[in-house]
Chains A and B, each alone.
Chain A
Amino acid sequence: QKEVEQDPGPLSVPEGAIVSLNCTYSNSAFQYFMWYRQYSRKGPELLMYTYSSGNKEDGRFTAQVDKSSKYISLFIRDSQPSDSATYLCAMSALLVGNTPLVFGKGTRLSVIA
């Protein structure tokens, strides 16, 4: 079983839609959960992170973690064309400086004006 699974999409939505992006994982040691956004020809950029279970909101973005189901989500409200990018989930067991991140494959999102 792969450590982190993420539906690669592509996902195409109209402007203003609510977008739901998801990842599942198998390693119960993961404690830190991150969402990165990657624009074409750019490196990943950290959007949000959460520790353990629960929700975290930042503007139009909400990250959710359900450790009992080993399932994380990113919701984007009022999606904009500028949100068009690939969204990568990433996770780790620890968050000291040298801890490797384990990434999902990324979901390509297109928001159509």
Chain B
Amino acid sequence: EPEVTQTPSHQVTQMGQEVILRCVPISNHLYFYWYRQILGQKVEFLVSFYNNEISEKSEIFDDQFSVERPDGSNFTLKIRSTKLEDSAMYFCASSEDGGGGLTEAFFGQGTRLTVV
């Protein structure tokens, strides 16, 4: 069964360092997303990406964050200068182009980011 794959599963970084979280979405999917979940809190939307550009982003997704699809398979989230409050589980998701119907978002298993 196709799945969204995220690497690494756990990343520890020092405050102020740059991190790149990697995702391989399902191969025929066209929409890509990043969500995050701070421990004990809700899953929160960060950004959606379609046709090689950001289509929606939340208030959380400020100038410290960027996304990229560097090749035909990977989708990355970069945090330029990490802060303690960036510590969270980051989920990548992807979905097909459903043509207006339900497009189920398939989530990866997450990358736990710990900023120390």
Residues of A within 8 A of B (CB): 4, 32, 41-46, 49, 88, 90, 95-106
The contact size tier of chain B is 20 to 34
Contacts A41-B109, A42-B109, A43-B109 given; does A97 touch B42 at CB 8 Å: no
Contacts A43-B109, A103-B43 given; does A98 touch B104 at CB 8 Å: no
Q: Which of B45, B56, B100 has the most CB of A within 10 A?
A: B45
Q: Are B109 and A95 in contact (CB under 8 A)?
A: no
Interfacial chain A residues near B75, Cβ < 8 Å: none
B87 in the interface (beta carbon within 8 A)? no
In the assembled complex, the CB of B113 is this many whole angstroms from the nearest CB of chain A, namely: 15
Interfacial chain B residues near A105, Cβ < 8 Å: 41-42
| With A41-B110, A106-B42 already in contact, 19 other A-B pairs whose C-beta atoms are closer than 8 Å | A4-B42, A41-B109, A43-B93, A44-B107, A46-B105, A95-B100, A95-B103, A96-B100, A97-B30, A97-B48, A97-B95, A97-B103, A99-B56, A100-B58, A101-B43, A101-B45, A102-B45, A103-B43, A106-B43
Interfacial chain B residues near A32, Cβ < 8 Å: 102
B101 in the interface (beta carbon within 8 A)? yes
Q: How far is the CA of A58 from the CA of B85 in the complex (A)?
A: 39
Interface SS majority for chain A:
loop
25 of the cross-chain contacts (CB-CB < 8 Å) are A42-B109, A43-B4, A43-B93, A44-B43, A44-B107, A46-B106, A90-B43, A95-B101, A95-B103, A96-B100, A97-B31, A97-B95, A97-B96, A97-B97, A97-B98, A97-B103, A98-B48, A98-B50, A100-B33, A100-B45, A100-B58, A101-B43, A103-B43, A105-B42, A106-B42
